[in-house]
Structure 1
Amino acid sequence: MEISNIWYFLSGLTLLSALMVVLAKNPIHSVLYLVFTFFCISGHYVLLNAQFLMAVNIIVYAGAIMVLFLFVIMMFDLRKNQPESKSNLTKLAGSVVAGSLLVVLIALVRQNNFQTPQVEGFVSQTGMVENLGKVLYSEYLLPFELVSILFFVAMVGAVLLGKREAGERNF
């Protein structure tokens, strides 16, 4: 299968699942469609030879943040808090805004002239984790260590703030 066919297939799946995020009536189904959208975007990262971004996208977004969203949604009793039905004027205004945005996006895509990538200058090892690690631990070692110290201090501060009693104020 050719890469352009895979790209079109992934793009179609991504757009369809993103549309289902908005159109799903059940919020849990919406979160699950969003997780699937993140997996499709990770497939695009693989096609761009950015395996590190693919792994981070799956671990951080699809793994951690969406599971947190899913737990929060499941904690609410959604049957009790049903919103009132939207009026026809609100639905018409939303349709007009969405249609005009679609027209603007189509006009922008038709007006732009997309260039094909140059195959001669392509380096296949650019987005690999090994090369990223070499650059991170050689050229950017000091900023990397400073950020790790900053995260450690933030974690200690969060633990200390969380352990403090509710009525106690020590500044």
Structure 2
Amino acid sequence: MEWLVFVPLAAIALSTAVLVIVLRNPVYCALSLVGTFFALSGVYLLLQAQFIAVVQVIVYAGAIMVLFLFVVMLLDLGHESPAWLQRDRPRLLLGIGVIVLLLIELAIPIGSGTSQGLQGSHTPELVAAVGNTQLVGRLLFTDFLIPFEITSVILLIAIIGAMVLARR
């Protein structure tokens, strides 16, 4: 039964992600990215991660995409030719190298069978008993407090930088 929902969601996510890369108009690219975000939200719902699905829609498809569209409209990018058409070989080779390294990095844990993720002692029974959102909140403010605080400081620096740039 889950496959009947997963396969169309995965097809939508892949096709809209390809459209983000292929389309030349930045506004259409941003709208395709919104479609990818909604499809990923559906996949998160299949994984019983309701909190992440709602955050995906509200934060990414809502707030972040509004910010992207605002920047695109502010810069008035118009129609630019893609980087690979400008014959920029060093950047193209660097991008291909980074992609190969990332694929190797992904293949190592999968091939060795050691990718257990962050689940640890959080069994599905515990998640069902406590609740997914409550468990995420507890983990954020106990085990992952330092990365959470570092992220908030980085976001504060980004806001201050945007204000300084906008002031000029």
TM-score, normalised relative to structure 2: 0.57
Residue 136 of structure 1 and its aligned partner are, at CA, apart by: 5.6
Residue 25 of structure 1 and its aligned partner are, at CA, apart by: 1.8
Amino acid at match of 1:129: T
Equivalence for 1:76? 75
Counterpart-to-counterpart distance in 2, 1:25 and 1:84: 8
C-alpha spacing 1:27/1:127, structure 2 compared with 1 (3 Å): farther
Equivalence for 2:25? 26
Counterpart-to-counterpart distance in 1, 2:16 and 2:131: 26
Q: What is the RMSD of the two structures over their aligned residues, measured on CA atoms? A: 4.5
Secondary structure of the structure 1 residue equivalent to 2:53: helix
Counterpart-to-counterpart distance in 1, 2:26 and 2:6: 29
Give the unaligned 5+ runs of structure 2. 114-122
- Specify which of 126, 129, 132 is matched with residue 128 of structure 1: 132
Equivalence for 1:140? 142
More helix by share: 2
Q: Say if 2:36 is the partner of 1:37.
A: yes
Q: Is the 8 A contact 1:49 1:127 kept in 2?
A: no
C-alpha spacing 1:127/1:27, structure 2 compared with 1 (3 Å): farther
Counterpart-to-counterpart distance in 1, 2:53 and 2:65: 16
Q: Is the 8 A contact 2:41 2:53 kept in 1?
A: yes
Amino acid at match of 1:45: Y
Residue 75 of structure 1 and its aligned partner are, at CA, apart by: 1.4
Larger radius of gyration: 1
C-alpha spacing 1:8/1:88, structure 2 compared with 1 (3 Å): same
Equivalence for 1:57? 56
C-alpha spacing 1:10/1:83, structure 2 compared with 1 (3 Å): closer
Counterpart-to-counterpart distance in 1, 2:48 and 2:10: 16
Q: Identity percentage over the alignment?
A: 32
